[in-house]
Amino acid sequence: MRALPVGDAALLVEVSSGDEAQALHAELVRRRAEGSLTVREIVPAARTVLLDGLAEPARLASELTAAEVPPAAPRAREAIELRVRYDGPDLADVAAHWGVSPSEVARIHADTEFTVAFCGFAPGFGYLTGLPARYDVPRRATPRTAVPAGSVALAGPYTGVYPRSSPGGWQLIGTTDAVLWDHARVPAALLSPGTRVRFVESV
């Protein structure tokens, strides 16, 4: 673990894996909730966690780099279920990459419980982990200029759902009608780091 100063009141903590980033994020959120950590923002990413609004970032940096971070405990909250039609234009390509049929891709994906590792790219977009490493898929060689909102997609170890139409290079395997980002909702984002997610196949 390495803690790098960012300005006068922030730290960027680097770790060696996505699992470690999730565990560190969960531990820091727990500390803030119990009152032992005062921080304005805790923002996880693939292998980093940014802490902003710290009174003594140097002291916390020393403490973090000397400590063992416990594995993230599963959230008690029920998993969010997203209904999905496995009808994506890249479903056959993913099936060929996995060496299974398209219907088996749907079964494997729907049988997996995912966790939101971090958010980014667009408001409401969560990077979901859960599939075993053997199901990693490459991004498309040529990104699409417009991916429809609600597209369920794979890239590397992640599953994601496009909250709005945007360019994208992920492999599209399905479609959901779930609203990932709604300004009128509190919170506006349906998914947040640590949220459990299951995909339920629609017919």
pLDDT tens, residue by residue, 130-153: 999 999 999 999 999 999 999 999
Q: At 167, is the pLDDT very low, low, confident or very high (cuts 50, 70, 90)? A: very high
Q: At 114, is the pLDDT very low, low, confident or very high (cuts 50, 70, 90)? A: very high
Mean pLDDT of 56-73: 84
Of 50, 161, 169, nearest in space to 109 by CA: 161
pTM: 0.82
Q: Say if residues 74 and 196 touch (Cβ distance below 8 Å).
A: yes
Please state, in angstroms and rounded to a whole number, the distance separating the CA atoms of residues 18 and 23.
9
Tell me which residue has tokens 């492999």. 171
What does the mean pLDDT of the chain come to?
92
Please state, in angstroms and rounded to a whole number, the distance separating the CA atoms of residues 28 and 39.
9
Q: Is 63 left (phi over 0), alpha (psi -120 to 50) or beta?
A: alpha
Residue 68 is predicted with a pLDDT of 81
**Tens digit of each residue's pLDDT (9 = 90 or more) over 38-61:** 999 999 998 999 999 999 999 999
pLDDT at 127 over 70: yes
Q: What strands, in cross-sheet order, belong to the sheet with 48-52?
A: 2-6, 10-14, 48-52, 41-44
**Could you write out the three-class secondary structure of the chain?**
CEEEEECCCEEEEECCCHHHHHHHHHHHHHHHHHCCCCCCEEEECCCEEEEECCCCHHHHHHHHHHCCCCCCCCCCCCCEEEEEECCCCCHHHHHHHHCCCHHHHHHHHHCCEEEEEEECCCCCCEEEECCCHHHCECCCCCCEEEECCCEEEEEECEEEECCCCEEECCEEEEECCCCCECCCCCCCECCCCCCEEEEEECC
Of residues 76 and 134, more confidence is placed in: 134
